[in-house]
């Protein structure tokens, strides 16, 4: 007997059936299963699953809890579980075909219904829309409160299907059935124009013209009162036809080419506090002639990437006569999920003048229309705060003439390699520019009155534009001066003070939180280890010792932190970070790691330096200990083949070794102080 395909329902309470038998799942298990079903046959990372399950308030050991949930779901699925739910780095994949998941069947039916309606195949349009709506069993994804964007998208498709079915009824001469459907729809969505227009036409065909006119009057009054706008020109034209006794069939459609083209002007205002960045602006200017038409501004949190992109966009806007589009892609937004191409394309199409009813269903059709509209236009497109290169790729024009500017904390190397993006690094300001920005924030006289304190504040803020602007806000809002604020920063901690009261998003800690949240758990642990011993740079081998990992794995995990600019490579190729990032890493370590784990991390790092110094001294023939200190497990010291190799290592590591000695003397373990000093006596 042939096996029955699994069936999965998401349009309502989750329903999973294997061999026609219902699978019982608990709340978190249902949520995990739903997230995987939204991406059938594709890998969903552990990090993405954790965010979908718990939002930004991730529990400790979230990766372990995801793994436990996966194991529970596999058991619940029975003998088929292992084959259906598989492990694939960096997460898990549910082996389901789209035809087995009601969401994707629903989308295909709505798309086919819209296509049939556009071809005036109304019986077919009705059948597709009706079949799609029969799949709807209630509010979708009830177990996933974090998936509000996807829930809204599916709800919008359902409304489109209801409208499509009602229009098919109307065109097939079933005006009474259409009226009944549309009365319910206009009651549910009292400001939505399309069902009101269809209801007006249906009432008129049913011989109820006065009621049709009343529908328009009610809608117009409501739109003016609640939105401050009049109905669209199309609805106004329909109203006039009803007043004159003409039917909808009497109307002559206005060709799209004859309609006045809307020129979008969507750029937010240019930043008021903008200084310097001359080198970055020159590099951006150099990107304009490139046929790829893609400029990429990347850098750490708080470096001013959006300000740089907007300043430059306003400067070159006159070169794009067909307008400017702007989207906040929410790549690093604690309050919302990153914007998908499915969400972005309708917004861009509306910006280019497409009415909502003219936007086709389906990603491919929307992409084709978007590129068609841009083919003969010169438009400047700014995509701010991007997290995913694949989303950008979907939104790129297919022809030259337009320019796309992308900002991101990620390096987005794929856009450079595959799409020819011109990447510009927006890093820290130099000292002169930082002082100038501080002067803009607090007034040039305040800086002139306390030049030494101003210079010290610039360094305490790591020359980070966000930190400097926040500091300027504090100084401007309170009595006192720069010297007083510098003292407060030193006494109370920089991260605690570098925020604007009442604006939690305007905070250095908050900006770093969003970058940190993108890292998988193992990379977070490596990052936290950077903050436990003073220093703003360390060799990969030393970081590996602190984390208790091998060098190759550590380098890979540091690479993830580099992608979001929490860590950078110094001129000599060593991982490095800024003071504020070091303070943040220390803060996270004390918040997330227990005392025993922190002590073990410090012990491994200090022992790495001690054992490596002993090996270096021995390689130079300068020091042979009477009794070598026992090595700590996982400290992975350096071993040197030649004296030259040992001396080169010592020269590169001296600052870090000195910082380690200072930490051991002040914080412990104290034995490393005299052991390191003793081993260094001849070196």
**CATH number of the domain that residue 17 is part of:** 1.10.10.10
Same domain, 505 and 475: yes
The reported pLDDT for the residue numbered 255 is 34
- Other CB atoms closer than 10 Å to residue 72's CB: what's the count? 16
Helical segments of 498-635, H only: 508-517, 521-529, 540-547, 551-563, 579-592, 595-619
User: Which ranges of the chain have pLDDT less than 70?
Assistant: 1-5, 56, 146, 246-262, 289-292, 334-335, 357, 476-480, 490-493, 495-507, 571, 623-627, 682-683
List, in order, residues 6 or more apart from 484 with CB less than 8 Å away.
none
The reported pLDDT for the residue numbered 260 is 47
User: Rounded to whole angstroms, what are the CA distances from 511 to 138, 179, 347, 508, 537?
Assistant: 38, 52, 26, 5, 21
Same domain, 667 and 536: yes
Which residue, 326, 385, 387, 346, is CA-closest to 51?
387
Cα separation, 140 vs 88, whole angstroms: 27
- DSSP string spanning 523-549? HHHHHHHTTSSS-SB--HHHHHHHHT-
Cα separation, 269 vs 96, whole angstroms: 47
User: CATH number for the domain including 210?
Assistant: 1.25.40.10
List, in order, residues 6 or more apart from 625 with CB less than 8 Å away.
614, 678, 679
CB 327 within 8 A of CB 349: no
Structure tokens, 235: 């609805």
CB 402 within 8 A of CB 377: yes
Domain boundary among 483, 513, 543: 513
Which residue, 479, 480, 460, is CA-closest to 470?
460
User: Dihedral angle at the C-alpha atoms of 610, 613, 618, 619, nearest 10 degrees?
Assistant: 140
Same domain, 591 and 675: yes
Q: Is residue 553 part of a domain?
A: yes
Q: Is residue 261 part of a domain?
A: no
Same domain, 415 and 497: no
Q: Which residue has the tokens 């992975």?
A: 636
Sign of the Cα torsion 143, 144, 149, 150 reads negative
Q: How far is CA 455 from the centre of its chain?
A: 35
User: Rounded to whole angstroms, what are the CA distances from 637 to 50, 402, 540, 558, 613?
Assistant: 36, 54, 12, 19, 9
Same domain, 580 and 661: yes
Q: 422 phi and psi, to 5 degrees?
A: -95, 105
The reported pLDDT for the residue numbered 496 is 62
Same domain, 469 and 330: no
Let me know if 303 is exposed, middle or buried by CB neighbors in 10 A (0-12, 13-18, 19+). buried
Same domain, 319 and 235: no
Strands (E), 396-549: 403-408, 422-425, 499-500, 503-507
Domain residues for the domain of 338 are 278-425
CB 329 within 8 A of CB 268: no
The reported pLDDT for the residue numbered 323 is 92
User: CATH number for the domain including 396?
Assistant: 3.40.50.300
Same domain, 446 and 417: no
Q: Is residue 436 part of a domain?
A: no
- Other CB atoms closer than 10 Å to residue 594's CB: what's the count? 9
Same domain, 389 and 292: yes
Same domain, 557 and 649: yes
- pLDDT tens, residue by residue, 611-663: 999 888 888 877 665 667 788 888 889 999 999 898 888 888 888 899 889 98
CA atoms within 13 A on the CB side of 663: 18
Q: Is residue 263 part of a domain?
A: no
The reported pLDDT for the residue numbered 296 is 95
Domain boundary among 207, 232, 251: 251
Instruction: Say how many domains are in the chain.
Output: 5
Same domain, 233 and 287: no
Domain boundary among 393, 425, 457: 425
Structure tokens, 609: 């330096």
Same domain, 479 and 553: no
Which residue, 391, 272, 260, 273, is CA-closest to 337?
391
Cα separation, 152 vs 165, whole angstroms: 20
The reported pLDDT for the residue numbered 579 is 81
């Amino acid at each position: 007997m042939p096996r029955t395909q699994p069936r999965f329902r998401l349009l309502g309470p989750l329903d999973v059936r294997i061999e026609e038998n219902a699978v019982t799942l608990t709340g978190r298990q249902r949520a995990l299963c739903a997230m995987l079903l939204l991406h059938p046959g594709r890998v969903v990372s552990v990090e993405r699953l954790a965010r979908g399950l718990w939002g930004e308030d991730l529990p400790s050991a979230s990766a372990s809890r995801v793994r436990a949930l996966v194991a529970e779901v596999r058991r619940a699925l029975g003998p088929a579980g292992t084959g259906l739910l598989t492990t694939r780095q960096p997460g898990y994949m549910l082996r389901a075909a789209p035809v087995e998941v009601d969401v994707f069947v629903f989308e295909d039916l709505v798309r086919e219904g819209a296509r049939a309606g556009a071809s005036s195949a109304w019986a077919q349009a009705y059948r597709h829309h009706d079949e799609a709506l029969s799949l709807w069993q209630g509010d979708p994804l009830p177990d996933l409160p974090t998936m509000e964007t996807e829930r809204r998208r599916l709800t919008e498709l359902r409304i489109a299907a209801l409208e499509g079915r009602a229009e098919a009824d109307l065109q097939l001469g079933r005006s009474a059935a259409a009226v009944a459907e549309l009365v319910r729809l206009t009651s549910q969505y009292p400001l939505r124009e399309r069902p009101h227009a269809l209801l007006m036409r249906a009432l008129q065909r049913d011989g109820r013209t006065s009621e049709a006119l009343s529908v328009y009057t009610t809608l117009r009054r409501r739109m003016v009162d609640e939105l401050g706008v009049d109905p669209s020109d199309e609805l106004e034209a329909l109203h006039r036809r009803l007043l004159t006794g003409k039917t909808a069939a009497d109307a002559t459609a206005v060709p799209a080419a004859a309609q006045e083209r809307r020129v979008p002007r969507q750029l937010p205002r240019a930043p008021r506090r903008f200084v310097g960045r001359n080198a970055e602006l020159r590099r951006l200017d150099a990107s304009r002639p490139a046929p790829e038409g893609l400029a990429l501004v990347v850098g750490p949190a708080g470096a001013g990437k959006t300000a740089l992109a907007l300043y430059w966009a306003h400067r070159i806007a006159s070169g794009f006569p067909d307008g400017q589009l702007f989207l906040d892609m929410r790549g690093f937004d604690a309050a919302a999920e990153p914007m998908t191409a499915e969400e972005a394309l309708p917004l861009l199409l509306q910006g280019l003048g497409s009415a909502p009813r003219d936007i086709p269903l389906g990603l491919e059709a929307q992409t084709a229309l978007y590129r068609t509209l841009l083919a003969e236009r010169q438009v400047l497109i700014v995509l701010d705060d991007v997290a995913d290169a694949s989303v950008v790729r979907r939104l790129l024009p297919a022809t030259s003439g337009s320019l796309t500017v992308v900002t991101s904390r990620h390096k987005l190397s794929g856009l450079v390699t595959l799409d020819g993006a011109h990447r510009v690094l927006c890093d820290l300001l130099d000292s002169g520019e930082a002082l100038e920005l501080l002067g803009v924030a607090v007034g040039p006289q305040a800086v002139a009155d306390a030049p030494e304190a101003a210079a010290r504040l610039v360094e305490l803020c790591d020359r980070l534009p966000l930190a400097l602007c926040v500091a300027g806000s504090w100084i401007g809002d309170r009595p006192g001066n720069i010297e007083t604020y510098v003292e407060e920063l030193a006494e109370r901690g920089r991260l605690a003070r570098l925020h604007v009261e009442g604006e939690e998003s305007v905070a250095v800690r908050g900006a770093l939180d969003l970058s940190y949240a993108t890292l998988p758990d193992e990379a977070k642990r490596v990052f936290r280890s950077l903050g436990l011993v003073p220093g703003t740079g360390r060799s990969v081998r030393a970081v590996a010792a602190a984390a208790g990992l091998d060098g190759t794995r550590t380098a890979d995990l540091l690479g993830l932190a580099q992608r979001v600019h929490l860590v950078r490579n110094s001129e000599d190729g060593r991982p490095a970070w800024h003071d504020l990032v070091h303070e943040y890493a220390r803060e996270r370590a004390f918040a997330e790691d227990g005392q025993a784990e922190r002590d073990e991390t410090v012990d491994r790092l200090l022992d790495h330096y001690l054992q490596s110094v002993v090996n270096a001294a021995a390689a130079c023939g300068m020091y042979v200990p009477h009794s070598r200190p026992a090595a700590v497990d996982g400290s992975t010291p350096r071993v040197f083949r030649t004296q030259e190799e040992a001396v080169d290592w010592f020269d590169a590591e001296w600052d870090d070794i000195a910082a380690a000695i200072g930490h051991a003397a002040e914080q412990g373990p104290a034995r490393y102080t005299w052991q390191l000093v003793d081993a260094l006596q001849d070196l």
